[in-house]
Amino acid sequence: MILFETDQKEFGGLERLNPAHNTWFKVNKGKMQHNRPHSFQIYVPSRTAIVLAPFEFVAKHPELKMPNYDIKDPLFAPYLESIS
């Protein structure tokens, strides 16, 4: 998920990443980008910076707003067990 990004209006940005704020970006286990395993695609406008946080980090910090996820999704299950 996007934890912080500089394209927000308060930093003079155009808010082009707002639709991605409530989204988990799942890693592709197969080869996807430039034949690199465990990659994913995300749009990053020029002259912006983003900080991404993995699910296990956000799950351990209840003060962070967690995007929606399917509790039955097997990709999230190992992390849910470790924080229970």
Tens digits of residue pLDDT in 11-52: 889 999 888 888 888 777 766 677 777 788 888 899 999 999
pLDDT of residue 83: 62
Q: Which run of H or E residues covers position 82? A: helix 77-83
Q: What is the pLDDT of residues 41-68, one digit of tens each?
A: 888 899 999 999 888 888 888 898 888 8
**Is pLDDT above 90 for 6?**
yes
Q: Strands 36-39 and 28-33: what pairing? A: antiparallel
